[in-house]
C-alpha cells in the first residue's frame, strides 16, 4: 500500500505539486504566526514584570481616601524592620514625574527630555537595591544600585535606554543635575537598563534614602514585596494586621499581582489556537478538493483493483497514506522555508520592529515548528480521510460500466 501510494504520487505530478504548495504555505504561515505571537507574548510579560513585578508581588499602599498614597520615612523604616524579621525581600517605591533633568557639559548644561521626539515625562523612582529581585530589571552597561549608594551625598542613577541615548555615546559616568525642591542636585549615572519596548516610559532609578533626603516625591510612596505563591494569602493577612497595629497605616490597601502574566499567556494562547484552526480549515479546502477529484478520476483504476482482490480497507489506507505523505512533505518544505528566513526576519524585528529594545530570545522556535508539523499531519488526515472513504466504497460494477 505504501509503494502504491508512492507510485500514484509520482504519476499525478501536477496535483501533488499543487497540494505541496497549499500545505507548505499553510504550515509556513502557522509556524510564523506562532513564532511572532510567542515573541509578542514574551514582550508583554516582560513589560508587566518590569512595571509591576514578578509573581507573586504584594504592593502595600497607605489608604488613599484623603489623597495620594504617602508613607512617612518612619513608617518605611518600621516596615523594613519587619521584612528583615520575616526574611522577605521588599523595597519601598517613591515615584515622581515632576523632576527636571539637565546634562552637565564643559560649556554649560542642556535639558534632557523624557522622550527625544515627543518630550514625554520622566518617571523618577526611588528604591532599594533588592528591587531587582522583585521586578525584572536588567542592566546593559554599568551596574545596578548597591547598599553603599544610600550613604553617598551624590545621587547614583540607573537610567533607561531612552534617557541614556540623550547623554551621548558614553552614558555611564555622565554628570546630570536634577531639580529637587529649591535647588539643583548634581548626580552621576552608574548604569543603563536593557530591555523595554518602544512604548515603555523613560525611567530613572535612584536609592530610596537619597530621594527622601532631598525631598523628592514625598507624596507618592508605597512598599512592594515578593513572596512564594503558597504563602501569599498568609502574608497578606499578616500585613493587614501589622499595618493596623505597628505600621500606623490603619486599613492599608494591599494588592496581589500574580495572575496578569497568566492571563496574558492564556489570551495569546487562545488567539493562536483560534488562528491555527481557521488556517487549518482554510488551507485544507483546496487540498481536499484536489483529493476528491483524484479519486473521481481514478474510479476505473480503483474498481479494477477491487476485481483483482483489493479490499475496501486496502484502498482506504492507500489513499490515506498518499494524502499523509504529501502533507508531511509540504510541512517539511514550509518549516524549512520559515527556518531560512527566521534569522534575517527576527534580526529586523529586534532592531526596527515592534519588539525593538525588548530582551527577547531571537532564536528559531522549534516548538512552533513542531506545531506546524502537527498542522501538516492534521491536513493530511482531513484531506485524505474523505477521499479514502469514497475510494473504499467504490463499486466493482460501476467500475466495469465506466
pLDDT at residue 207 tops 60: yes
- Average of pLDDT values for 81-109? 92
| Per-residue pLDDT tens digits for 215-261 | 888 778 899 999 988 888 999 999 999 998 889 888 888 888 865 55
Taking residue 60's Cβ as centre, other Cβ atoms within 10 Å add up to 25
Query: Global pTM?
Result: 0.67
**Are 318 and 5 in contact, with CB atoms under 8 Å apart?**
yes
Closest CA to 24 of 340, 367, 337: 337
Q: CB-based burial of residue 107 (10 Å sphere; 0-12 exposed, 13-18 middle, 19+ buried)?
A: exposed
Q: Lowest-confidence range among 37-41, 96-100, 359-363? A: 359-363
Which uninterrupted H or E stretch holds 352? none
pLDDT at 80: 92
Which uninterrupted H or E stretch holds 204? strand 202-207
Q: In whole angstroms, what separates CA 320 from the centre of its chain?
A: 39
Helix/strand/coil (H/E/C) assignment for every residue in 97-150? CCCCEEEEECCEEEEECCCCCCCCCEEEEEECHHHHHCCCCCEEEECCCCHHHH
Burial 282-306 (b: 16+ CB within 10 A, else e): ebbebbbebbeebbeebbeebbebb
| Per-residue pLDDT tens digits for 116-154 | 554 468 999 999 999 999 988 889 999 999 999 988 989
Most confident stretch, 225-234, 268-277, 289-298, 322-331: 225-234
Between the CA of residue 128 and those of 72, 132, 140, 206, 373, what are the distances in Å?
Answer: 16, 9, 19, 8, 48
Q: CB-based burial of residue 259 (10 Å sphere; 0-12 exposed, 13-18 middle, 19+ buried)?
A: exposed
Report the C-alpha gap between 111 and 98 in whole angstroms. 14
Amino acid at each position: 500500500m505504501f509503494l502504491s501510494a508512492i507510485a500514484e504520487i509520482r504519476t499525478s505530478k501536477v496535483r501533488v505539486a499543487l497540494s505541496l504548495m497549499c500545505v507548505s504555505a499553510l504550515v509556513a504561515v502557522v509556524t510564523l504566526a506562532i513564532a511572532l505571537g510567542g515573541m509578542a507574548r514574551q514582550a508583554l510579560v516582560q513589560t508587566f514584570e518590569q512595571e509591576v513585578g514578578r509573581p507573586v508581588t504584594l504592593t502595600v499602599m497607605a489608604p488613599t481616601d484623603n489623597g495620594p498614597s504617602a508613607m512617612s520615612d518612619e513608617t518605611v523604616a518600621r516596615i523594613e524592620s519587619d521584612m528583615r524579621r520575616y526574611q522577605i525581600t521588599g523595597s519601598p517605591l517613591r515615584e515622581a514625574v515632576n523632576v527636571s533633568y539637565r546634562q552637565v557639559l564643559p560649556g554649560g548644561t542642556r535639558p534632557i527630555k523624557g522622550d527625544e521626539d515627543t518630550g514625554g515625562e520622566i518617571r523618577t523612582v526611588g528604591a532599594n537595591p533588592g528591587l531587582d529581585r522583585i521586578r525584572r530589571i536588567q542592566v546593559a552597561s554599568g551596574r545596578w544600585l548597591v547598599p553603599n549608594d544610600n550613604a553617598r551625598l551624590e545621587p547614583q542613577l540607573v537610567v533607561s535606554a531612552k534617557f541614556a541615548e540623550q547623554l551621548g555615546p558614553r552614558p555611564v559616568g555622565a554628570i546630570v543635575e536634577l531639580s529637587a525642591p529649591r535647588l539643583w542636585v548634581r548626580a552621576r549615572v552608574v548604569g543603563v537598563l536593557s530591555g523595554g519596548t518602544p512604548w515603555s516610559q523613560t525611567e530613572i532609578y535612584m536609592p530610596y534614602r537619597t530621594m527622601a533626603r532631598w525631598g523628592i516625591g514625598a507624596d507618592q510612596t508605597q512598599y512592594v514585596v515578593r513572596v512564594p505563591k503558597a504563602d501569599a494569602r498568609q502574608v497578606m493577612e499578616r500585613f493587614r494586621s501589622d499595618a493596623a497595629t505597628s505600621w500606623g497605616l490603619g486599613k492599608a490597601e494591599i494588592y496581589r499581582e500574580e495572575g496578569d502574566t497568566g492571563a496574558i499567556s492564556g489570551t495569546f494562547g487562545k488567539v493562536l489556537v483560534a488562528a491555527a484552526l481557521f488556517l487549518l480549515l482554510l488551507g485544507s479546502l483546496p487540498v481536499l478538493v484536489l483529493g476528491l477529484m483524484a479519486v473521481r478520476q481514478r474510479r476505473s483504476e480503483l474498481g479494477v483493483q477491487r476485481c483483482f482482490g483489493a479490499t475496501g480497507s486496502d484502498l482506504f489506507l492507500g489513499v490515506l497514506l498518499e494524502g499523509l505523505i504529501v502533507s508531511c512533505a509540504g510541512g517539511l518544505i514550509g518549516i524549512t522555508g520559515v527556518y531560512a528566513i527566521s534569522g534575517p526576519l527576527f534580526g529586523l524585528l529586534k532592531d526596527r520592529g515592534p519588539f525593538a529594545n525588548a530582551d527577547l530570545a531571537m532564536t528559531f522556535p522549534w516548538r512552533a515548528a513542531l506545531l506546524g508539523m502537527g498542522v501538516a499531519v492534521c491536513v493530511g488526515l482531513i484531506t485524505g480521510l474523505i477521499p479514502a472513504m469514497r475510494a473504499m466504497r467504490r463499486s466493482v460494477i460501476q467500475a466495469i460500466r465506466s
